[in-house]
Amino acid sequence: MPRNWRYVLVAGTIVLAAACKKSPAEHVKRGDDLVAQKKVAEAMVEYRTALAQDEQLGEVRLKLADLYAEQGDSQNAYREYVRASDVLPDNRDAQLKGGAMLLLANRFAEAKTRAENVLKKNPHDSAALMLKGNALAGLKDVNGAFRSLNDAIESDPGSSTAYANLGALQLARGDQRLAEASFKKAINADPNAASARVALAHYYNTQHRDAEAEESLREAIRVDAKNVQANSNLVELLIRTKRPAEAEQPLKAIVAVMNNADAQFALAEYYLRMKRNSDAVPILRTLAESPATAALARARLASIDYKEGRTPAAHAAIDDILKTDPNNRAALLLKGQLLSSERKFEEALQYLKRAATADPGRDAEPNLVAARIYIAKGQLEDALDTYKKVLTRNPSSIPAQLGLAQLYAARGEFKSALELARGAVTNDPRNAEARLILIRTLQATGDSGAAERELKYLQDRMPPSAELEVQLGALLLSRNNPAAAKIAFSKALELGPGSPEALAGLIGLDFSTNNREAAVKRIEARLHEAPNDKHAWYLAAHTYYSMKDFGNAERALRKTIELDPSNLSAFAMLGGVYGFQGRLDDAKQQFDAWAAQQPRSIAAHTMVALLLEKQNKPLEAKKAYEKILEIDPHAAIAANNLAFHYASNGGNLDVALQLAQTAKSQVPSEPEFNDTLGYIYYKQNIADVAIQHFQQAIAGDPKNPSFHYHLGLAYAQQGEDTQAIAAFRRALALNPNFAEAADAKRALGELVIQ
């Protein structure tokens, strides 16, 4: 081909390309036409194309920002509004909208600048004065904020928004009476302004005036049924006041208005919480069809499969998501949660760590699940560290504060527990769980006055509940008022039939008045109502044992063990029943026969092993425990007792530690399991960790002399002689003849002589 023809072809291509390329103005015109046709997605493409050619088109940025806002895409709306306000300093609309966005982002100084840009042209612009007042409030210039808001009201006396903003500022300053008056003036200024009624409802909410808050929100919805904030706040109020069934309608209203994925997910989650899976599934399946929401929706559908017993399908669905998207946070988190519920803790932790790494800014939830796993495994230091990690990133995380508070309380570190519980209450004053934990901690420290004040707060503001009445009963008992305590425990049973704490409180009161017949009737009535209530059967065993009715005590303990094979105390009590009657050989024959009939019965084999120990046949007991663990590697009592056998008889301490951790993972609060773990760490010369576990054991059973003796050994190993002496003396004071008393006396003598 001649060279000049090639030049002609190239030049022709350039001309053709130039002819096909539209100008920014043409893209904007096309975008405007598409908006008129309600083709929003296509319009946004045109506007973005125009901006790609000319970034300084502020008016286009403003149009694009409005579309993002209409679609509920707050992140992109924020970006475009702020950029529009940067390039259009003389455009009132751009300055006010950009300033509002900066205000929401706590960029108060920049928001103030946007307001002042408008006020340069019109010093009496009410909207700009309100923006400036809110920005000054954020900058802690309260007096300046008041001046600006009052100027806004003077410029526009009919401005509902100005009065509402003034009320918010007065409320923040503590002027409650003036704040309420301002909110009501906002409504009077514009009776059809839903936002004014929402602001008044917020005020009532801060004053715990729920009925008035609800009335104000419903009035806001009456004047504007599509008001998202009013409907959202009403949902929150209904759930908080334990009327979740009524929350469906406002949630549906939000979905109808917003029509975006977030609102649809919220409605689906509501249906899941209400156990209306069949209503959630269609929503989630629709969301699963969109690439943007498919992974999260499929993960939610997998969780439904799991809850409804389709375990293989649930795991397969999650694994399928992770094949195409191995760093999908939602799928990794759900996989970790499912494995945790199956007690596959090590696998669960791996997925949870991946979930936390996948999105470091949202690592709180996987870390909270991991902390609960560490507690279940008995790795309390790891749990403490994990909760602390969550609080480092999010100091107001209530689950982390409460989890850490309970761990500190279990260790007897009540000062730290109180500080955390109070922090949780400060962050969410209406959180009943936080206040109940605070009440229990206060009672544990003997501060019944503070406990009573907290309890009164809950009683005044929360619906009646079994938990509240149980705490009231415990408080009244501590003040030696059994008659009032009985009323509280009885009310607790009415509110929560079968509450083990309330039932135990009433039976204890029956015994204190020597009314044993009433105690028996009470517990047997509960067993008739709920024949598979393991707590009731164990309480029945205690009741019968206290009356020396060993036949019924044995029957109740056998049933307890059948329902809860990990209940070490039930096994110990059953052994005590046989020992008290001198029937160890008979008992072993019975349990041998039971084990023969049910060769995989953990309860039967465990009882045989315990009886062998009582008969002083440690080697035979060891073999029995090993056989149990072949049947079920997670059998708690067998794992614990075999671990202690290894630690006490020169066995492999690493194996012993694994066994002890397995036992504690099943029943974290069992004092015997904590003692075994502590003893193994003591044998490994890790005294500081051993001390922590012994302290936990003592917190659970403070009158066990062996626990105090073991604590003394750990203190001595660490060189803390004064504490060791105190622990040994405490052990001997509790029981001068306990099994290890001779060793305790010898250890005490050696320290005192030194």
Residue 274 has pLDDT above 50, yes or no: yes
The rounded distance, in Å, linking the Cα atoms of 608 and 361 is 52
pLDDT on residue 572? 66
pLDDT on residue 205? 84
Q: Half-sphere exposure (CA, 13 Å, Cβ side) for 583?
A: 15
The rounded distance, in Å, linking the Cα atoms of 256 and 132 is 34
Ordered by start, the domain boundaries in the chain are 532-632
Among 163-172, 252-261, 733-742, the range of highest mean pLDDT: 733-742
Residue 7 has pLDDT above 60, yes or no: no
Look at phi and psi of residue 109 and say left if phi exceeds 0, alpha if psi is from -120 to 50, else beta.
alpha
For 578, the token pair is 């046989």
Model confidence at 402, in pLDDT bands (50, 70, 90)? very high
Closest CA to 157 of 116, 199, 180, 124: 124
Model confidence at 14, in pLDDT bands (50, 70, 90)? very low
Residue 507 has pLDDT above 70, yes or no: yes
Lowest mean pLDDT among 3-7, 444-448, 542-546: 3-7
Q: What integer best gives the mean pLDDT of the chain? A: 84
Here the contacts of 419-428 (C-beta below 8 Å, separation 24 or greater) are 423/396, 424/398, 425/454, 427/396, 427/398, 427/401, 428/398
The rounded distance, in Å, linking the Cα atoms of 113 and 438 is 45
Give the three-class secondary structure for 38. coil
- Tell me which H or E stretch contains 302: helix 294-307
**What's the pLDDT tens digit per position in 91-101?**
888 888 888 88
Look at phi and psi of residue 209 and say left if phi exceeds 0, alpha if psi is from -120 to 50, else beta.
beta
For 618, the token pair is 């440690």
- Contact criterion met (CB below 8 Å) for 427 and 396: yes
Residue 18 has pLDDT above 50, yes or no: no
For the segment 642-648, the average pLDDT, to the nearest whole number, is: 91
Model confidence at 5, in pLDDT bands (50, 70, 90)? very low
**What's the pLDDT tens digit per position in 282-324?**
988 998 888 888 888 888 888 888 888 888 888 898 899 899 8
For the segment 160-189, the average pLDDT, to the nearest whole number, is: 79
pLDDT on residue 675? 94
For the segment 522-547, the average pLDDT, to the nearest whole number, is: 91
The rounded distance, in Å, linking the Cα atoms of 336 and 299 is 12
The rounded distance, in Å, linking the Cα atoms of 644 and 656 is 7
- Contact criterion met (CB below 8 Å) for 47 and 58: no
pLDDT on residue 350? 93
Closest CA to 451 of 466, 430, 473: 473
Give the three-class secondary structure for 73. coil
Lowest mean pLDDT among 289-298, 505-514, 713-722: 289-298
- Contact criterion met (CB below 8 Å) for 452 and 479: no
The rounded distance, in Å, linking the Cα atoms of 741 and 731 is 8
Amino acid at 460: D
Predicted model pTM: 0.57
For the segment 269-279, the average pLDDT, to the nearest whole number, is: 86
**If you ran DSSP here, which 8-state letter would residue 514 be given?**
T
- Tell me which H or E stretch contains 353: helix 345-358
Closest CA to 302 of 326, 274, 277, 323: 277
pLDDT on residue 269? 85
Residue 9 has pLDDT above 50, yes or no: no
% residues pLDDT > 90 (the chain): 23
**What's the pLDDT tens digit per position in 212-262?**
988 989 998 999 898 888 888 888 888 877 788 888 898 888 888 887 888
pLDDT on residue 351? 93
Give the number of other Cβ atoms within 10 Å of residue 696's Cβ: 26
Lowest mean pLDDT among 364-368, 587-591, 616-620: 587-591
For the segment 130-148, the average pLDDT, to the nearest whole number, is: 79
**What's the pLDDT tens digit per position in 437-483?**
998 888 888 888 888 888 888 888 777 888 889 889 988 888 889 99
pLDDT on residue 168? 76
pLDDT on residue 570? 78
For the segment 596-621, the average pLDDT, to the nearest whole number, is: 80
Q: Which residues contact 276 (CB under 8 A, 6 or more apart)?
A: none
Entry field: residues in the chain: 754
Tokens 């062996």 identify what position? Answer: 706
**What's the pLDDT tens digit per position in 323-381?**
988 988 888 998 998 888 887 888 999 999 999 998 888 888 999 999 988 877 666 77
For the segment 520-544, the average pLDDT, to the nearest whole number, is: 91
pLDDT on residue 400? 92
% residues pLDDT > 70 (the chain): 94
Fold of 532-632: 1.25.40
pLDDT on residue 455? 87
Give the three-class secondary structure for 171. helix
